[in-house]
Chains A and B, each alone.
Chain A
Amino acid sequence: AQKITQTQPGMFVQEKEAVTLDCTYDTSDPSYGLFWYKQPSSGEMIFLIYQGSYDQQNATEGRYSLNFQKARKSANLVISASQLGDSAMYFCAMREVFYNTDKLIFGTGTRLQVFP
């Protein structure tokens, strides 16, 4: 079975600094997709960035980039130039596709707090 591990329950970063949120995964499937979502205190899940297992380059979306190290099975999210509005929970997820099952497996999340 696939598994996502986020070992940082909480992280602090000063405004305008960069921060890395860790995510490791475990799968025997050679083809997989990795996702990062942001969840503010209001509760909605906001899609941030996607990385495919066969993608040659690390994904980037504005201030978000994904440090994908396939051999180490890690997909860390890097947020550059942190803003106060980045304070939220961040979840790493992997898509599991098996016969009739198509779902996301989530990690336990990292709570990021940005301070002035």
Chain B
Amino acid sequence: EADIYQTPRYLVIGTGKKITLECSQTMGHDKMYWYQQDPGMELHLIHYSYGVNSTEKGDLSSESTVSRIRTEHFPLTLESARPSHTSQYLCASSPHEGRRTDTQYFGPGTRLTVL
């Protein structure tokens, strides 16, 4: 059973606001990921990290930024939210064992609505 947490679960905010979506895991996993998912659609990778002080951009271009100062924490920040950022954001983690069996475990997601 995976222990990965995201807050807030739901967020409604006005255009231009700065927001931070929190993601934490207690499994000591090195690898962490952020995915973006529009309703009823597939997931797209927007950021990932292989460990502390490591961050990379994913396939889908995103105006968000991430940081990885501690192993267990991988927050995502939007400096100025826009309606186009309305989506669900899912955080995931996996062990860094280099095996293809390494499963990614997901948090409950944050549903962001920008008015």
Contact = CB atoms under 8 A, between A and B. Distances in A.
Q: Do A and B come from one complex?
A: yes
Interface of A: 31-33, 35, 37, 42-47, 50, 52-53, 89, 91, 95, 97, 100, 102-104, 106-109, 111
A111 B90 CA distance: 19
A89 B103 CA distance: 19
B36 to A, nearest CB: 11
Given A97-B100, A103-B33, A106-B44, 5 more contacts: A35-B104, A42-B108, A43-B108, A45-B92, A89-B40
Contact of B58 (A35, A44, A50, A103): A103
A50 B40 contact: no
A91 B103 contact: no
B101 interface: yes
Interface residues of B, number: 28
Contacts of B12: none
A106 B108 contact: no
B42 A107 contact: yes
B42 A32 contact: no
Given A43-B88, A102-B31, A103-B48, A32 B100 contact: yes
Contacts of A46: 106
A60 to B, nearest CB: 15
Contacts of A44: 90, 106-109
A79 B43 CA distance: 23
Interface string B45-75: 1001010000010110000000000000000
B45 A43 contact: no
A64 to B, nearest CB: 14
Contact of B42 (A42, A50, A109): A109
Contacts of A106: 42-44
A31 B42 contact: no
Contacts of B88: 43
Given A33-B100, A52-B100, A102-B31, A45 B106 contact: yes
